[in-house]
Amino acid sequence: MQTTEQRFKDIKKIGTQTKWTEDLYHSLLSFNWSKFFLSYLLLFLVFNSFFAFCYWVFPGSITGTDHSFWQAFAFSVQTFSTVGYGAFSPHSDWAHSIVIIQSVLSVFVTALLTGLIFAKFSRPSARIVFSKNVLINNYDGKRMLMLRMGNLRANQIVEAQARMVVLQSFTTVEGQTIRRQVDLNLVRNSSLFFALSWSVMHVIDQTSPLYNLTLEDLINQNIEIGMSVIGYDSTFSQTIHANCMYVADDVVFDQYFEDIFKIQDGKVLSLNYDKFHNLKSF
């Protein structure tokens, strides 16, 4: 099981003209935090190293230094951050000119980084966990496809809407092989308050594209099952979404999810996520 981003990120889109440098804002927002901070550190070092070289290449441009590149770099950092401890100062027209240029560019760089950091922090995200496997078993006298979702946050996702599809290879009467997406009818495709756990189920009847398919059939037809949920987060007050993809190897037959609720006197006392992916047989 993997997210759709993981599933499709390595597919090369041949013929597209957009490079990551041409959509830099989107690329930086899509970075994880470690990659983002490494990118910021690299930009910081390159930016200040360039201006340090401009100061250092003309000895005597900065007073209070020993004319080393390291102290020129320290002066550049002080200019960039507007700290200015008072030990270093520009001494020539060349240095004053570089300080002006660096100060102007520093405003743009700082504003860009501040906006990116705020955008990453303020962007709503869903902490929804999906079961590692999707199951095909008998439930309530019917053949059923089911998976389990859980809300890891102590809040509610209001008016949550679930959707499940099957991706399968299909050959037309003309002999063309295409990849077809088929919507699966769910027993329940919405939840008024998604706060704990949700078992998403699809009845495998004669109208289902999974009808009478074995695990070997799923593999041969390159079956993939996509799951998506979208809803209104009561904390963020914004719409959030999450998704995942299952391949044929993720499908388990005639197994059931282990119960994760502790109930006493008709009330749910706890939900054990340590058992969330556990399976059992009857």
Structure tokens at 225: 């099952």
- For residue 140, the tally of other CB atoms under 10 A from its CB is 8
Q: What is the pLDDT of residues 5-56, one digit of tens each?
A: 666 666 666 555 556 556 677 777 777 888 888 988 999 999 999 999 999 9
Q: What is the mean pLDDT of residues 225-246?
A: 88
Q: Please give the model's pTM, rounded to 2 decimal places.
A: 0.70
Structure tokens at 243: 């998704």
Structure tokens at 99: 């300080």
Q: What is the mean pLDDT of residues 187-195?
A: 89
Q: In Å, what is the CA distance from 3 to each residue of 57, 114, 129, 227, 243?
A: 51, 29, 11, 9, 6
For residues 91 and 98, the answer to whether their CB atoms sit within 8 Å is no
Q: What is the mean pLDDT of residues 273-281?
A: 88
* 261 bridge partner residues: 271
Q: Is 69 left (phi over 0), alpha (psi -120 to 50) or beta?
A: alpha
Q: How many helices (H) and strands (E) does the chain have?
A: 6, 16
User: Rounded distance, CA 46 to CA 100, Å?
Assistant: 18
Instruction: Give the pLDDT confidence score for residue 228 in this predicted structure.
Output: 93
- Parallel, antiparallel or unpaired: strands 62-63 and 89-90: antiparallel
Q: What is the pLDDT of residues 197-224, one digit of tens each?
A: 899 999 999 999 899 888 888 888 888 9
Domains of the chain and any CATH numbers = 9-122 (1.10.287.70), 128-280 (2.60.40.1400)
- Asked whether residue 115 carries a pLDDT value surpassing 80, the answer given is yes
277 Cα distance to chain centroid = 21
Residue type for 77, please? V
Residue type for 159, please? E
Q: Is 175 left (phi over 0), alpha (psi -120 to 50) or beta?
A: left
For residues 167 and 218, the answer to whether their CB atoms sit within 8 Å is no
User: Rounded distance, CA 136 to CA 185, Å?
Assistant: 15
Phi, psi of 272 (to 5 degrees): -95, 100
Residue carrying the six token digits 């100062």: 89
Q: What is the mean pLDDT of residues 150-172?
A: 87
208-217 CB contacts, 8 Å cutoff, 24+ apart: 208/145, 208/184, 209/166, 209/168, 209/182, 209/184, 210/136, 210/145, 210/166, 210/184, 215/248, 215/251, 215/253
Mean pLDDT across the chain: 85
